[in-house]
Amino acid sequence: FSPSITKIGNKAFCECFKLNQISFPSSLISIGSKAFANCPLLTKVSIPPSVKSFGSEIFNKCNDISEIECDPSQTSITTILNDASSLTKLVIYPTVESLKNVNFSQFTNIKDIIIPASFKIIGESLFINCTYLKQISIPLSVTTIEKNAFKGCSSLEQISIPSKVTTIENNAFYGCSNL
């Protein structure tokens, strides 16, 4: 894409069956509904923090997307994907400090979540029922792990809690049977 593109319209690249890679410019502000729907070869998507307007089902029927890099506080990832069953890795942008009213429970196959060093709070129910999540590195900047943050992460085998953490709320690791 040209570095000056600010908007990608509805269904702009819909049914581009051989499209396997996208590199969005940092100038991009808006992605329309189903802009990349039914592009079955896409496997990795990185949505720049500049994007503020999201249409629905942007990557609908892109069933091989296994990794997304984004700011989940901007939009629901399930709104972007429609089906998150193939998603195994989530990279949260380094500028994000916390996520409120967001949880990743619909990502039943997620194994790897990269939390940025800027994070201060692991929000309530953020990783609830991420049953395939085996390990997670909590950044040194985190001070609070809110209630139910990792509840039901039954595959979680390893976690390191930084010394700056002053509060671990109720049920934060409830049901983490492999810890």
Quick: pLDDT tens for 76-90. Answer: 666 676 666 778 888
Residues of the chain with pLDDT under 50: none
What pLDDT does residue 97 have? Answer: 81
Give pLDDT, residue 86: 79
Query: In angstroms, how far is CA 130 from the centroid of its own chain?
Result: 12
DSSP state of 78: H
pLDDT of residue 57: 87
Phi, psi of 77 (to 5 degrees): -65, -35
Instruction: Specify the pLDDT at position 8.
Output: 97
Give the full edge-to-edge strand order of the sheet including 44-46: 44-46, 67-70, 89-92, 112-114
pLDDT at res. 84: 64
**pLDDT value at residue 83:** 65
What the block records as the tokens of 141 is 């900047």
pTM, two decimals, is 0.77
pLDDT score, position 82: 63
pLDDT for 78: 62
pLDDT tens, position by position, 119-146: 899 999 999 999 999 888 899 999 999 9
Q: Give the pLDDT of residue 76.
A: 65
pLDDT at 108: 73
The pLDDT, as a whole number, for residue 169 is 98
Residues in the chain, how many? 179
C-alpha distance across the termini of the chain, in Å: 45
